[in-house]
Chains A and B, each alone.
Chain A
Amino acid sequence: DQQVKQNSPSLSVQEGRISILNCDYTNSMFDYFLWYKKYPAEGPTFLISISSIKDKNEDGRFTVFLNKSAKHLSLHIVPSQPGDSAVYFCAALSLNAGNMLTFGGGTRLMVKP
């Protein structure tokens, strides 16, 4: 039973355009949602997060939107750059029980020059 799902395994976008990565979850008790970026042969690196009581968080080119009624969040990257090409993981955090992260399966983003 996957609690966090990323239904698009890959996404291709032209440089300068917007990239939209989507994530769905089933557990209403998650406290935070996070996006991690992963390059090949490296560990995931934290990108941006949003509290479950917010509906938007912005950091430079990256904005995360949370729709609690739909149990859906999305990451917008504007403008997309070739260096953004990586695998993006959506993750959900429960603050109890050791602050465990539950990850989605990832979306591979390719930004074409």
Chain B
Amino acid sequence: NAGVTQTPKFRILKIGQSMTLQCTQDMNHNYMYWYRQDPGMGLKLIYYSVGAGITDKGEVPNGYNVSRSTTEDFPLRLELAAPSQTSVYFCATSTGGNTQYFGPGTRLTVL
């Protein structure tokens, strides 16, 4: 089992460009999450999903969009990249219990 996979590992964007960060899991978990981690800071929740077709905002959703058409995939979309979105992005999954399982992260730089 691969667990939680994220692509790409690294990306540099120009201001105003758009991109999709991919997250795929093979653990059949209903709950999925997107976090961002700024340098020297903790993780902050961007969006989450409790199942296919259901998404909701977290603490810092502005500038992002998500969709959840399948149990396995939870892509995060940046429409108009800004320097403030330079961060490391982590996807996580959960059965709904008290433990979340994280992917390896995507390091995004917006110049």
How far is it, in angstroms, between the C-alpha of A44 and the C-alpha of B93 when the chains are bound?
Answer: 12
**Chain A: interface size category:** 20 to 34
How far is it, in angstroms, between the C-alpha of A106 and the C-alpha of B92 when the chains are bound?
Answer: 18
B94 touches A106 (CB 8 A): no
Bitwise interface map of A from 24 to 54 toward B, beta carbon under 8 Å scored 1, else 0: 0000000110101000011111100100000
Q: How far is the CB of B56 from chain A (nearest CB, A)?
A: 6
* 6 sample A-B contacts, Cβ–Cβ < 8 Å, listed by A number: A6-B42, A32-B98, A98-B31, A98-B50, A104-B42, A105-B42
13 further interface pairs, Cβ-Cβ under 8 Å (given A89-B43, A99-B98, A100-B45): A42-B105, A43-B102, A43-B103, A93-B98, A97-B56, A98-B49, A99-B31, A99-B100, A100-B58, A101-B100, A105-B40, A105-B41, A106-B41
Binding site for A on B (CB under 8 A): 4, 31, 33, 35, 40-45, 48-50, 56, 58-59, 90, 92, 94, 96-105
